[in-house]
C-alpha cells in the first residue's frame, strides 16, 4: 500500500569511531518503523567517515542528523 505521507523528516544519531566506522546508530524520530530500518541499513552500508580530531589525534564524535525520507512509487 502507498503510505499517506510522501516526504517527511526523521532524525538519526550515531557515533563515528576513531577508525571512521559508524556505531551506536539509533533512530530518534521517524514516521514509520520500516523507514527507521532503512535509515539504519543505509548508514551501516556507508563508507567510512572522517573521525573527529582533537590535538591532532582521532577521537570519537557523536552526530545527530536529520534524514529526509522521500517515498516514491
Q: How confident is the model at residue 1 (pLDDT cuts 50, 70, 90)?
A: very low
> From CA 20, how far away is CA 30, in angstroms rounded?
25
39 burial (CB, 10 Å; 0-12 / 13-18 / 19+) is buried
pLDDT tens per residue across span 5-59? 567 889 999 999 999 999 999 999 988 888 899 999 999 999 999 999 999 999 9
Question: Using the 8-state DSSP alphabet, how is residue 27 labeled?
Answer: E
Are 12 and 65 in contact by the 8 Å Cβ rule? The answer is yes
> From CA 70, how far away is CA 28, in angstroms rounded?
18
Rounded to 10 degrees, the C-alpha dihedral 48/70/13/28 comes to -160
Amino acid at each position: 500500500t502507498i503510505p499517506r505521507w510522501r516526504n517527511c523528516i526523521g532524525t538519526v544519531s550515531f557515533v563515528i569511531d576513531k577508525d571512521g566506522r559508524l556505531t551506536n546508530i539509533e533512530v530518534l524520530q521517524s514516521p514509520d518503523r520500516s523507514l527507521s530500518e532503512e535509515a539504519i541499513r543505509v548508514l551501516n552500508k556507508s563508507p567510512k567517515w572522517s573521525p573527529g580530531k582533537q590535538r591532532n589525534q582521532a577521537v570519537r564524535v557523536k552526530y545527530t542528523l536529520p534524514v529526509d525520507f522521500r517515498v516514491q512509487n
